[in-house]
Amino acid sequence: MTFLILFGGSSFEHEISIVSAITLKDKIKKHNLKFVFIDKNRDFYLIDKENMKSKFFSTGEYKKSTKLEITKGGFKYKKGLLKKEEYLDFDVAINLIHGRDGEDGKIPGMLEFFKIKAITPNIESCAISYNKVLTKLFAKLRGVEVIDYEIINEPKTKFDFPVIVKPARLGSSIGVSIARNQDEFNYAFDVAKEFDDLIIVEPFIEGIEEYNLAGCFANEWIFSKVEKVEKKEFLDFEKKYMDFSRKETNLNSIDKNLEEKLKENFKKIYKDEFENALIRCDFFVKDDIIYLNEINPIPGSLANYLFDNFEEVLEKLANNLKEEKEIIIDYQYINKIQMAKGK
Write out the residues near its own copies by the rule CB under 8 A.
Answer: 10-12, 14-16, 18-19, 40-43, 54-55, 57-58, 69, 71-72, 100-101, 104-110, 112-115, 123-124, 126-128, 130-131, 133-134, 137-138, 141, 197-198, 238, 241-242, 272, 327, 329, 331, 333-338, 340, 343
Q: Which is nearer to its own copies, 164 or 174 (CB)?
A: 174
| Identity of the residue, 15 or 259, whose beta carbon is nearer to its own copies in the bound complex | 15
For residues 67 and 38, is the Cβ–Cβ distance under 8 A?
no
Q: How far apart are CA 185 and CA 202, in angstroms?
A: 12
216 touches 280 (CB < 8 A): no
Torsions phi, psi for 292 (to 5 deg)? -80, 125
Q: Least CB distance from residue 116 to its own copies, whole Å?
A: 12
DSSP E strand boundaries for 39-198: 44-47, 66-71, 74-79, 84-87, 92-95, 118-119, 145-146, 150-152, 163-167, 177-179
Residue placing its CB nearer to its own copies in the complex, 49 or 72: 72
Element (H, E) at 269: helix 256-270
Q: CA 263, 265, 267, 270 torsion: positive or negative?
A: negative
What's the min distance (Å) between Cβ of 107 and its own copies?
A: 8
By beta-carbon proximity to its own copies, the closer residue of 113 and 234 is 113
Separation between Cα atoms, residue 24 and residue 304, nearest integer Å: 8
Of 32 and 143, the one with the shorter C-beta distance to its own copies is: 143
Give the nearest distance from C-beta 114 to its own copies in angstroms. 7
Measured at the CA of 51, the angle between CA 50 and CA 54, to 5 degrees, comes to 130
* Shortest Å, Cβ 186 to its own copies: 22
Provide the edge-to-edge strand list for the sheet that holds 150-152.
Answer: 150-152, 199-203, 163-167, 177-179
Given the complex with its own copies, which of 44 and 211 has the nearer CB atom?
44
Q: How far is the CB of 256 from its own copies (least distance, A)?
A: 30
* CA dist., res. 120 & res. 26, Å (int): 21
CB 101, min distance to its own copies, A: 7
Q: Least distance in Å: CB of 301 to its own copies?
A: 15
CA nearest to 188, candidates 166, 212, 218, 203: 166
CB closer to its own copies out of 127 and 179: 127
Beta pairing, strands 150-152 & 199-203: antiparallel
